[in-house]
Amino acid sequence: MMEHFTEIRTLREALGREGRGEARPQDWRIFWGWTRSADVGIKDSEPANVYSPLTMTEGLGARVLIQWADGKVSSLRAERAELEQPGPLLAHARAAAYEDPDSANFLGAQEAPPVPLFVAATADAASGAVEPFAALLAVAREKAALHGFRNASGSVSATHRRAGVITSRGCDLTAESTGFSYGFWFDGQPGDGWTRREVIPARIASERLAESCENAVRLKSDEEGFAGGTLPVLLHPRVAEGFFATYVLGNFSGERIWNRQSAFRIEQFRERALVFREDLTVRLEPLVPYGPGSYPFTSEGVPARRVDYIVSGKLAFPILDLKYARRFGMEPVPPPATIESLAVESCEEIPSEKALQEMGRGLLVLGILGLHTQDAASGDFSLSAGQSLAVRAGRLGGRVRAAISGNFFEILRSAELRLVRFPGHHMPGILMVAPVLVEP
């Protein structure tokens, strides 16, 4: 068991002794996290310049839920300086107490599944070992020069994290993890971002950046004579991630379902309603060793486990924290930590090269604007897709300044839907047929 930080122990002790009568803490939960990180950038093809220097940070914070003796609850966030003075912190929390009995859930002892998430070399980078940063920044400069870009911009970062959940009822879980990531773009065009637990080798980053650099070159020239209409549209995995997060995960939220802000009702999950294509499956996979979306437990102390959200097109389980699991009379269902916690599968899967060949004339969408403004519950979308490439006879052309529209739920039911696997990407792309409006 990992030793708790002094500030967390001090808060824990204060929760056991502070207050009298109705102002006495009866039950409590602390979700704490310590993070050390290093970040260095490249701006206008100059690495670690005055606009993007090596920056190192370290911090400790906590989210605390308290149920007082009178039944009221308080929820608060605190940073290290506040945790060092728990008396005033708890006094402020008591002053802001409110009625919400369904949120007062405190787990007893739990056993989280073992899942390795820590890599020593990444922790060294988070402590300032600069060699991995320098190697990737050099790759970005080389790619910019090779493809004739005037500048490359972006950053590389490493993170070392410890986190835990403690409750008054005996839950005491801890975990240690690392993360290494980069994100680059060239002449303002879409680039590539990637996150892993381990340090990303320069060779692997160079291979991944090749695709985004080639597409960025294509985006610099407009495609002539490309007409709109109802066309095959291929959403790149980075774009497909946003669609799934908005229209699928957003509508599986227990809070949205309870408040009737979701496209689905809890009865549909209980009845295993068929709402998508019969070969579509979406599940949570949080226990993949060193997976960037893996984790051993939630911030409430619920152990992570594999969960089917959609099975063969049927609703299986919504995402339920302790509060909404209690309201629905169901077991809690853990959420994805990131989009890479999800496995999205269908029997209609093809590689990206084959997808381009099958499209004939169509559109490859590399970036969109406005997804956050859409009505997720309806499934409708109408989006600017100005960072798109023409597809003609299986070949990628120049830039098309387009807008796409449709209904994502209907797309997930359509016989024309194909999941498209792009090399190096966890999430599949989505091949669909949709109305395309081309700007004059």
Cα separation, 62 vs 28, whole angstroms: 12
Beta strand 229-235 with 189-196 is unpaired
What type of residue is 107? L
| CA 252, 257, 258, 259 torsion-angle sign | positive
The listed CATH number (3.30.2290.10, 3.90.580.10, 3.10.580.10, 4.10.520.10) that belongs to domain 6-215: 3.30.2290.10
Task: Kindly give the interhelix angle for 202-219 and 131-146, rounded to the nearest 10 degrees.
Answer: 30
| CA 76, 245, 255, 341 torsion-angle sign | negative
Half-sphere exposure of 35 (CA within 13 A, CB side): 15
Cα 197 off chain centre by: 15
149-188 residue pLDDT tens: 998 999 999 999 999 999 999 999 999 999 999 999 999 8
- In residues, how long is the chain? 440
Strand ranges across the sheet with 307-311: 314-315, 307-311, 281-284, 342-345
Whether the Cβ atoms of residue 55 and residue 39 lie closer than 8 Å to each other: yes
**Which pLDDT does position 18 carry in this prediction?**
66
Q: Within the chain, which residues score under 70 in pLDDT?
A: 1-3, 18-19
Q: Which two tokens stand for residue 217?
A: 């070159």
Burial of 216 (0-12, 13-18, 19+ CB in 10 A): buried
Domain extent listing, the chain: 6-215, 217-241+348-438, 244-345
> What is residue 116's DSSP assignment?
-
**Which pLDDT does position 1 carry in this prediction?**
43
202-260 residue pLDDT tens: 999 999 999 999 999 999 999 999 999 999 999 999 999 999 999 999 999 999 999 99
Q: Which two tokens stand for residue 439?
A: 């700007």
**Which pLDDT does position 3 carry in this prediction?**
64
**Which pLDDT does position 16 carry in this prediction?**
85
